[in-house]
Amino acid sequence: MADDDTRTMIRLDRVSKSYPGQAEPAIADLTLEVRAGEIVVLLGPSGCGKTTTMRMINRLIEPTGGRVYFDGEDVTAVNADHLRRRIGYVIQQIGLLPHLTVGANIAMVPRALGWDKKRTTARVTELLDLLGLDPRTYRKRYPKQLSGGEQQRVGVARALAADPPVMLMDEPFGALDPIIRDRLQDEFLALQKKIQKTIVFVTHDIEEAVKLGDRIAIFGTGGRIAQFDTPAKLLTEPADDFVASFIGSGGAVRLLGLSQVADLPIEDVRTVASADASSGPDGALTLLVDDGGAPVRWLRGASGVAGRPAVVRPSQSLYEALDAMLAAHDDLAVVVDDDGAVRGGLRWAAVLHGTGTEAGSRT
């Protein structure tokens, strides 16, 4: 397993791309390593070369210099069509073929690889299930009969059809409305936990990059990588002014989204099952719980008064924990487990001290 973590899946070695008639190369001497199973986000303003870099991995754009390695193999000169069948490809415009059904769209690469019908059909069913689309309903539909979110799910399913080890995703959620985008990002992370692909993800949205990336490569001007680091490192220690300005203000707040409640210490909270038994010893925090152990209200809270508690789960981010505390006007949030039973209390101060230091150690 440890061996797998350090295996390099994609390596760009001093790759460059210049176009005839342009003095400045679009990409200059770019070196990038992507490890197996991680999500690397290429982030930057438009025109910075992030998409060009991604498209040189599957050679939709041929590099004019340098070498591209795929799982240790030099693929700079192999048959590009065959190479691309080993790499999933998802784009913002989705690109589902409108004259083919969802099933036929997903089956394109298996067909090109010469799979037999039975195997292809089984794979399509499996993928539709995986992406949360009922195969009986969706297999025979045409793309225009789907919503934008459903179409992009099919787009991801199509990219996964031949089970490629690597996926390239070019702003796949960029054209969706914010609510759908957020949901698809969550689903995408859950999916990635299951399938463990090596993913190169292009975006210009810092929030998306921080949320999805295991590591982020920020592109500066002239097709160079300004910084390549974990999201926490990027937010706390920007390498230069360009990176700092691109991240902009609010970096500290974004860090909150990177750590979970479970990363921080929680303190004991006294719980009682009935309001009559209220008077605890020496004014300790006292929380009224119902029969299932779920919090009902403070009998004596941290702010000294009774009221509805802020409730968070260990899997929630510190951002959500602070949000809950602000909403409840309380500097202590009640942490509950997945069944809703009280596990303890999380202090505002603990969040303040915990941010940033633990941020690197998520997963």
Partner 1 sequence: MTAATVRTTAPARDGRLRGWAGTVVTPLLLLAVVAGLYAYLHAQNLDDIERRSLDRDVILRLLLQHVELVAVSSVVVIAVAVPLGVLLTRPGLRVAATPILAVANLGQAVPSIGVLVLLAVTVGTGFRMATLALVLVALLSVLRNTMVGLTGVDRALIDAARGMGLTRTTVLFRVELPLAVPVMLAGVRVALILNVGNAALATYTNAGGLGTLIQAGIALNRLPVLLTGSILTAVLALAVDWFAGVVERVVRPRGL
- Residues forming the site for partner 1 (CB under 8 A): 58, 60, 81-87, 89, 91, 93-101, 108-109, 112, 142-144, 155, 158-159, 168
Q: Which is nearer to partner 1, 150 or 229 (CB)?
A: 150
Question: Closest distance between partner 1 and the C-beta of residue 158, in Å?
Answer: 7
Q: State the minimum distance, in angstroms, from the CB of residue 79 to partner 1.
A: 9
Task: Considering the complex, state which of residue 19 and residue 352 has its C-beta at the smaller distance from partner 1.
Answer: 19
Q: String of b and e for 226-265 (b: at least 16 CB within 10 Å)?
A: bbbbbbbbbbbebbeebbbebbeeebeebbbbbbbbebbe
Is the CB of 104 or the CB of 306 nearer to partner 1? 104
For residues 177 and 195, give the distance between their C-alpha atoms in angstroms, rounded to a whole number.
26
34 phi, psi to nearest 5 deg? -120, 125
Nearer to partner 1 (CB atom), residue 68 or residue 299: 68
Min dist CB 164 to partner 1, Å, is: 9
Complex with partner 1: residue 112 or 296, whichever CB lies closer = 112
CB of 341 to partner 1, least distance (A): 48
How many Å apart are CA 225 and CA 242, to the nearest integer? 11
Rounded least distance, CB 100 to partner 1, Å: 7
Q: Which two tokens stand for residue 13?
A: 């070695």
User: Least distance to partner 1 from the beta carbon of 317, Å?
Assistant: 34
3-state secondary structure 26-54: CEEEEEEEEECCCEEEEECCCCCCHHHHH
CA 52 to chain centre: 21
User: Helix 178-195 crosses helix 148-159 at what angle (to 10 degrees)?
Assistant: 20
Structure tokens at 196: 């463990």
**Closer residue to partner 1, CB minimum distance, 85 or 347:** 85
